[in-house]
Amino acid sequence: MKTILILIDSLNRHFLKTYNEDSWIKTPNIDRLAKKSVVFDNHWMGSAPCMPARRDIFTGRLNFLERNWGPIEPFDITLPEKLRENDIFTHMVTDHYHYFEIGGENYCQLFNTWDLIRGQESDPWVSKIEQPSMCEEHIGRIRLQYELNRMKFKKEEDYPSPKTFASACSWLEENKNAKDFFLMVEAFDPHEPFDCPKEYLDMYDDDYEGPRYDWPDYKPVEESPEALKHIRNRYAGTMTMMDKWLGKLFNKMDEDNMWEDTMVILTADHGHMLGEHGYMAKNYMQVYNELAHLPFIVHLPGDSKAGTRINELTQNIDIMPTVLDYHKIDIPESVKGCSLTNLLSGEDQTLRDVVLYGYHGKAVNMTDGRYTYFRAPIKEDNYPLYIYTAMPTGFRKYIGKERADEIDMGRFLKYTDYPVYKIPINYENQKDGSIKYIKESLIFDIEEDYQQKKPINNKAIEKELIDKIIKAMKDSQAPGEQYERLGLL
């Protein structure tokens, strides 16, 4: 049995025609996959952003309730390990350079082999002591390392996402006669900076003449309407370039008739705000549907069930048990996600009443399919809050040094006997770590108000949602202080 998992960073669901027929962004190859696959309409993120989402996918558990951005823990039972234990060869192709920074340890190393494509964002790739001239007039971010990296992009084939899919095609060619494998292909695009050849901007009739703007800041919108239109065009162009090269992977599958015996899963880690609700980017605002409601497309061998749509609540933690189940491997007891194989085979099945999602130390969010509920911290200091980890690394740094005398160590996690550090923290210090943008708990009826523009104030509904969120947190084995922090005791 063969599985290909395609994980696309910052891919906005509402820009895909399979979810929004009025979308203006061109993604013919994702559309092509959707037509021969099962499309899930109610799929949600778990933890955010990048590395927390990947730990969810690798372990089948929610990361954000117990820790921040960080590595695979020594007590984690992971998808690549279980596959390898059962003689399934695993390979990863990725241009997601965070795997090789502090805080991204132990993910790639779980695979039999892996290929890192260099050059995205701040990847320390091009090494040059003499600094290049920097663009003086610009909007948003500009970073020295990316200015160095992008000097290597002479033609489209030099960009990291095209190189990623080209590498995946080469791997499939080398291994086209294999009977069993798991291939994970990750594209960083359309993550910022939104950089692509001019021809892709021309597809969207971009006529912007202002200062350079390809890397938005993580803050509320301050840009002119012209600049905002341009950055959206850049996102669209980068997404279309990624889709073109994804199509080459699908062409390779056509060539070798791989659709007959291969499951293909396509999804995202999270979305990206492009001015919706007055915000750019992610991480600091409430987790609106643009960020949390994700594409999830599953191709079954032989195009089985093509055209089927499933509305059951699903989540990123379901990927691990689904892949294991497909390969007839027992699902570990630690896994909190659900196998989707029965749903995919056409059976009616209710997997869960709600899904939880969010960022460590911020609001805990939930949806039951009708409502979304953002449960905010009740105190300005966000206390009590801890990180539980046996490997105290976070986003490009070690964690806990500032309050080392307050760190405890013990067997604090219910699902493992492995001792962990219990590190006190008030705010997750990644960009704006405060809670100033998420102070208010909000309820939205997404059947009536999917854009989440009109919060509702109904104490009876809120009581029902509180009961659901408490139950879901207990089922997820959330640390006890989370209930206190959120006023749920």
Give 184-232 pLDDT, tens digit per residue. Answer: 999 999 999 999 999 999 999 999 999 999 999 999 999 999 999 999 9
State the greatest distance between any 2 C-alpha atoms of the chain, in Å, as a whole number: 64
Helix (H) or strand (E) holding 41: strand 38-44
Q: Report the pLDDT averaged over residues 462-479.
A: 99
Radius of gyration of the chain (CA): 22
d(CA 22, CA 42): 19
Each residue of 266-305: pLDDT tens digit? Answer: 999 999 999 999 999 999 999 999 999 999 999 999 999 9
Q: Cβ neighbours of residue 470 under 8 Å, at least 6 residues apart? A: 483, 488
d(CA 41, CA 311): 5
Backbone angles phi, psi at 187, to 5 degrees: -115, 120
Position 135 confidence tier, pLDDT thresholds 50, 70, 90: confident
Q: Which two tokens stand for residue 57?
A: 């996918």
* Residue 273: strand pairing partners: 281
Each residue of 375-420: pLDDT tens digit? Answer: 999 999 999 999 999 999 999 999 999 999 999 999 999 999 999 9
Contact (CB, 8 A) for 220 and 279: yes
Which residue type does 408 have?
Answer: D
Domain span(s) for CATH 3.40.720.10 in the chain: 2-344
Peptide linkage before 384 cis (omega within 30 of 0): yes
**What pLDDT does 432 receive?**
52
Residue 428 scores a pLDDT above 70: no
d(CA 60, CA 318): 6
Q: Cβ neighbours of residue 41 under 8 Å, at least 6 residues apart? A: 19, 309, 310, 311
Helix (H) or strand (E) holding 78: none
CATH of 2-344, one of 3.30.70.141, 3.40.50.10780, 3.40.720.10, 3.40.50.300: 3.40.720.10
d(CA 54, CA 188): 13
- With vertex at residue 301, the alpha carbon angle to CA 297 and CA 302, rounded to the nearest 5 degrees, is 110
d(CA 133, CA 413): 50
